[in-house]
């Protein structure tokens, strides 16, 4: 059967979402999907474009999972625009001369920046702000100059101003209207925003009508903006951000009906006047109106796919509320922000000291919320938006909704009050009902809900709300969430940590008798053992602690499937001397150990008999090595690239820092193992962004990434802070690690810890960087205390004759374990499988003596 061919024109955010929806919902064996993108790269996150300057790369902005197109057999042509549609023949023609027939055509061509017709605005150093190519051009121009101006003080204009600021330019913003962000804010809100932005060093000029731009050659400030009031401004660089217009040229040429203010006209199913052509995103106009936000575009993508597949769904308009962070200032706008509804009433809260302005607009009878403005603090945004979207009744005193927490009267919007149809996640259009369904189906953590419904995986703004819905649903459905450690302790790991610390408890016996019952088990013993080690740093093999440890800790090596152990000495940052290497080789040869470079830039020796471990380690320690903690739930290693000492590209000494960090944090017991990485430049050869703590050198210092993971469920690390000096970097890492050690669940890696942390990355930043909880100094002291306890566990063990006896295989015989046997493989050996073993003279499992 001939496949149904879908051609998608445009590979922006909405075009890509269409493909994701299609892949998710359709049987792709029935469709042939071809995509054309005019830009040179795959779909990327335009909303966070300004982060391209603040330490992100084009690859990080990409929205496309590696291998997405190949995996689903989608053909993508980049740098190729569709220039003509023959609707009668159902054929398109591209600017590269391809002609292709289609069954369904999807227009997702987005918008273009509109530049007013001002004399001089066409100069090649007048830029717009829309694509990565635009940003690259701005960055190049910024290298030559000292100052820049953004014409346009709307949302995008302020984003662009943030970008100029990040490039180190003296930054100006010109706005025609008397207030900034006139679309979203009222006058007072705009004023507050202006004050905050100016305090950051951006000069704001409002009520300015730019009449002309004059250009001079070869001197600083060679562009002069001349305003209607005869004032002037000299700058080196001009960026226009004066609005967008739908990119509907292709549709115009194809005689598709176009709305009066631009945009291809579409119906509720995103279908144009031609039943074979859909239009979605900013190029589409619904009821004569186009939407310059990404959420409505995503909804259109979903509707268009559903309509194609015959599913019930419709586009019914969009809410234009928005919450964002501009130049570091939080701004939120909901519904009728200016109070234009006749007879509407307003409540205002203003705190000049903290730079906070909040306003709500309510109906004349005070029963319904119509709109809101939030500047400087958007914590109320989620609640207010739900009140507005779901038309919910307001409390008797609506002003309590925006009073600060210290006023003590804040009504919580019970999520119970939300209808099932309430949209919780606007990025992925996930309703409260859908989340409730997921909870009923067994998703009992925020991370599980994210995985099941995608809610909270877009901008992440709704995660606190998801967590509220989760808790409400769990208690409503009578599901008891037990994060109890096990049957012996009715506490979570975090609670136990606190009890141990506060109660100064030093042994498992004490912890059990005070806070638990019974004997203990393989879950609580190692967990408590790890907590005790994290708190007090005692030798893990003290007689009182030995029964708590997993075998890896008991014998200070990783047990392999045949009962032998691995031997992995520490090689900090991957460094090892030739002499050290020779001794490792000699040990491996003498004890017949299988030798392999591990995934962690060090050498692993495998197949060591338990009996041999003490003598093996004795030799390694004499050669200057120490334990590598490859067996422990603690820092494993710091992976480094060669860095600026040798590499032509390196900008900082990554090995030096890696070695220092590895020594600083080695041996500290944590809820799970931890891996670090340090890269000497943005090429990132140490793959630091896949590590629990990843550090990448910049021209100005170090960028600190946290909570990355490789393994079963890879997670890209998040940028915690940028351009840090070493002292600050280490302070943040100290705080981060102790905070994780204190609060994570048992065996929880940093990645899933962060995914489940209420408030997410922003909260983590506020704890680590802003010290919101006031525990920063305490965390650093705890880290210092625990670091001062460090001893090489192997050295300590070898110093104790009693300990060495424990390593004998038999308590009553000196012979080694006869079941440990090897067979040759690739010039080395591997454990014999049970059926390959040769019965030995003194062991017969069948016959007793």
Partner 1 sequence: MSWTDICAVNDIIPGTGVCALLGQRQVAVFRPYADEQLFALDNIDPFYQASVLSRGILADLQGELYITSPLKKQHFRLKDGVCLENADFSVAAYAVRVTNGRIELKEPV
Q: Nearer to partner 1 by C-beta: 548 or 651?
A: 548
Nearer to partner 1, 351 or 487 (CB): 487
562 binds partner 1, rule: CB under 8 A? yes
- Interacting positions 776-805 with partner 1 (CB under 8 A): 805
Segment holding 79, helix H or strand E: none
Supply 381's token pair. 């945004």
**Helices (H), strands (E): how many in the chain?**
25, 37
The piece of 250-258, 304-312, 420-428, 839-847 that touches partner 1 (CB under 8 A) is 839-847
Q: What is the contact mask toward partner 1 in residues 531 to 560, using x (rule: CB under 8 A)?
A: ------------x--xxxxxx--xx---x-
Among 819, 822, 828, 829, binds partner 1 (CB under 8 A): 819
- Options 405, 811, 825, 827; binder of partner 1; rule CB under 8 A: 811
In angstroms, the CA 762 to CA 724 distance is: 18
- The residue (of 353 and 849) whose beta carbon lies closer to partner 1 is 849
Q: Is the separation of the CB atoms in 656 and 572 below 8 Å?
A: no
- Among 801, 261, 780, 829, which Cα is nearest to 560's? 829
What's the min distance (Å) between Cβ of 613 and partner 1?
13
490 binds partner 1 (CB under 8 A): no
Q: Facing residues of 245 across strands?
A: 112
Considering only residues 161 to 190 of the shown chain, the ones binding partner 1 according to CB under 8 A are: none
Distance between CA atoms of residues 736 and 577, nearest Å: 32
* Cα-Cα end-to-end distance for the chain: 73
Give the three-state DSSP class for 722. strand
Of 29, 117, 812, 827, the one binding partner 1 by CB under 8 A: 812
For partner 1, the closer of residues 297 and 557 by Cβ is: 557
Q: Is 440 in the site for partner 1 (CB under 8 A)?
A: no
Task: Using the minimum distance from each CB to partner 1, give the nearer residue, 36 or 807.
Answer: 807
- Per CB under 8 A, does 513 bind partner 1? no
Binding segment (CB under 8 A) for partner 1, from list 138-146, 473-481, 619-627, 841-849: 841-849
Which is closer to partner 1, CB of 630 or CB of 754? 630
Q: Which residues within the stretch 329-368 sit at the binding site for partner 1 (CB under 8 A)? A: none
Among the residue ranges 242-250, 512-520, 733-741, 763-771, the one whose residues contact partner 1 (CB under 8 A) = 512-520
Provide, rounded to whole angstroms, the least separation between the CB of residue 836 and partner 1: 11
Nearest to 706 by CA among 646, 791, 696: 696
- Number of Cα atoms under 13 Å in the Cβ half of residue 235: 25
> What is the crossing angle of helices 463-476 and 432-440, to 10°?
50
- Rank residues 209 and 844 by Cβ distance to partner 1 and give the closer one: 844
**Which residues touch 408 (CB under 8 Å, ≥6 apart)?**
none
Size of the chain, expressed as the number of residues it contains? 849
Residue 370 in contact with partner 1, rule: CB under 8 A: no
Structural Rg of the chain based on CA atoms: 32
The footprint of partner 1 on residues 205-244 (CB under 8 A) is none
Q: Which of 10, 520, 572, 680 binds partner 1 (CB under 8 A)?
A: 520
Q: Is 714 in the site for partner 1 (CB under 8 A)?
A: no
Q: What is the spatial distance between Cα 572 and Cα 264, in angstroms, rounded to a whole number?
A: 61
**DSSP H helical segments within 699-756, as ranges?**
726-743, 750-756
Q: What share of the chain is helix, strand, coil (3-state, %, to 5)?
A: 35, 20, 45
CB of 310 to partner 1, least distance (A): 48
Instruction: Find the shortest distance in angstroms from Cβ 812 to partner 1.
Output: 5
Q: Which of 5, 103, 817, 822 binds partner 1 (CB under 8 A)?
A: 817
50, 117 contact by CB (below 8 A): no
Q: Is 416 in the site for partner 1 (CB under 8 A)?
A: no
Query: Which residue in 436, 439, 445 sits closest to 415, CA to CA?
Result: 436
**Could you give the CA distance from residue 606 to residue 830 in angstroms, rounded to a whole number?**
9
Question: Could you list the residues that contact partner 1 (CB under 8 A)?
Answer: 487-488, 518-523, 525-526, 543, 546-551, 554-555, 559, 561-563, 805-806, 809-813, 815, 817, 819-820, 834, 842-845, 848-849
């Amino acid at each position: 059967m001939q496949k149904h061919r879908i051609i998608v024109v445009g590979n922006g955010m909405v075009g890509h979402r269409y493909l994701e929806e299609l892949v998710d919902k359709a049987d792709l064996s029935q469709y042939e999907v071809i995509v054309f993108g005019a830009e040179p790269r795959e779909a990327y996150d335009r909303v966070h474009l300004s982060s391209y300057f603040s330490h992100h790369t084009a690859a990080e902005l990409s929205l496309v999972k590696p291998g997405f197109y190949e995996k689903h057999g989608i053909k993508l042509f980049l740098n190729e625009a569709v220039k003509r549609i023959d609707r009668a023949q159902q054929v398109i023609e591209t600017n590269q001369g391809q002609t292709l027939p289609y069954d369904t055509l999807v227009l997702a061509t987005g918008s273009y920046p509109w530049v007013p017709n001002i004399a001089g605005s066409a100069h090649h150093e007048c830029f717009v702000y829309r694509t990565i190519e635009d940003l690259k051009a701005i960055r190049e121009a910024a290298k030559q100059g000292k100052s820049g101006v953004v014409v346009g003080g709307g949302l995008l204009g302020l984003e662009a101003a943030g970008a100029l600021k990040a490039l180190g330019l003296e930054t100006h913003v010109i706005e025609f209207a008397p207030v900034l962000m006139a679309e979203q804010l009222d006058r007072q809100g705009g004023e507050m925003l202006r004050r905050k932005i100016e305090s950051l060093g951006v000069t704001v000029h409002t009520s300015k009508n730019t009449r002309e731009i004059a250009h001079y050659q070869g001197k600083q400030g060679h562009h002069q903006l001349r305003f209607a009031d005869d004032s002037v401004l000299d700058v080196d660089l001009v960026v226009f951000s004066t609005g967008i217009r739908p990119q509907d040229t292709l549709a115009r040429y194809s005689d598709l009906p176009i709305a009066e203010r631009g945009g291809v006209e579409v119906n509720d199913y995103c279908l144009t006047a031609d039943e074979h052509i859909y239009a979605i995103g900013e190029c589409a106009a619904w009821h004569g109106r186009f939407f310059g936000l990404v959420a409505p575009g995503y909804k259109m993508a979903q509707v268009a796919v559903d309509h194609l597949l015959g599913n019930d769904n419709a586009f019914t308009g969009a809410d234009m509320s928005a919450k964002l962070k501009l130049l570091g200032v939080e701004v939120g706008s909901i519904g009728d922000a200016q109070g234009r509804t006749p007879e509407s009433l307003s409540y205002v809260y203003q705190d000049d000291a903290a730079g906070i302005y909040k306003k709500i607009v309510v109906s004349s009878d005070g029963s319904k919320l119509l709109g809101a403005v939030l500047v400087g603090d958007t914590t109320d945004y989620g609640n207010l938006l739900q009140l507005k979207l779901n038309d919910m009744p307001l409390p008797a005193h609506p002003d309590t909704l925006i009073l600060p927490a210290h006023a003590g009267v804040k009504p919580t919007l019970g999520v119970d009050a939300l209808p099932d149809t309430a949209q919780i996640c606007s990025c992925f259009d996930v309703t409260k009902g859908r989340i409730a369904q997921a909870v009923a189906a067994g998703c009992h953590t925020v991370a599980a809900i994210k995985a099941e419904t995608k809610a909270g995986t877009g901008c992440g703004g709704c995660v606190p709300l998801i967590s509220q819905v989760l808790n409400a649903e769990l208690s409503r459905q009578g599901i008891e969430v037990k994060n109890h450690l096990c049957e012996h302790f009715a506490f979570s790991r975090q609670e136990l940590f606190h009890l141990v610390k506060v109660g100064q408890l030093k042994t498992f016996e004490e912890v059990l008798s005070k806070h638990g019952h019974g004997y203990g088990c393989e879950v609580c013993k190692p967990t408590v053992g790890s907590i005790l080690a994290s708190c007090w740093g005692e030798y893990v093999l003290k007689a009182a602690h030995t029964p708590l440890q997993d075998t890896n800790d008991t014998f200070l090596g990783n047990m392999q499937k045949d009962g032998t152990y691995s031997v992995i000495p520490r090689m900090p940052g991957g460094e090892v001397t030739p002499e050290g290497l020779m001794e490792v080789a000699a040990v491996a040869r003498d004890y017949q150990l299988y030798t392999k470079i591990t995934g962690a830039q060090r050498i692993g020796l495998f197949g060591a008999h338990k009996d041999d471990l003490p003598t093996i380690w004795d030799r390694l320690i004499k050669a200057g090595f120490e334990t590598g903690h490859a067996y422990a739930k603690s820092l494993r290693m710091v992976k480094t690239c060669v860095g600026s000492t040798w590499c032509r590209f390196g900008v900082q000494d990554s090995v030096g820092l890696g070695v220092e960090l590895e020594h600083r944090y080695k041996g500290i017991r944590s809820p799970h193992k931890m891996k670090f990485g340090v890269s000497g430049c943005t090429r990132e050869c140490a793959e630091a962004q896949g590590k629990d703590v990843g550090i990448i050198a910049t021209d100005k210092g170090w960028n600190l990434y946290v909570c990355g993971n490789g393994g079963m469920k890879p997670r890209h690390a998040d940028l915690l802070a940028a351009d840090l000096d070493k002292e600050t970097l280490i302070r943040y890492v100290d705080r981060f690690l102790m905070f994780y050690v204190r609060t994570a669940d048992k065996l929880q890696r940093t990645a899933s810890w962060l995914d489940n942390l209420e408030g997410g990355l922003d909260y983590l930043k506020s704890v680590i960087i802003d010290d919101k909880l006031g525990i920063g100094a305490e965390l650093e002291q705890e880290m210092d205390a625990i670091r001062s306890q460090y001893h090489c566990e192997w050295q300590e063990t070898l110093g104790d004759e009693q300990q060495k006896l424990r390593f004998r295989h038999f308590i009553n015989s000196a012979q080694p374990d006869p079941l440990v046997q090897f067979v040759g493989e690739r010039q080395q050996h591997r454990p014999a499988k049970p059926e390959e073993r040769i019965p030995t003279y003194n062991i017969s499992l069948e016959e007793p003596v």
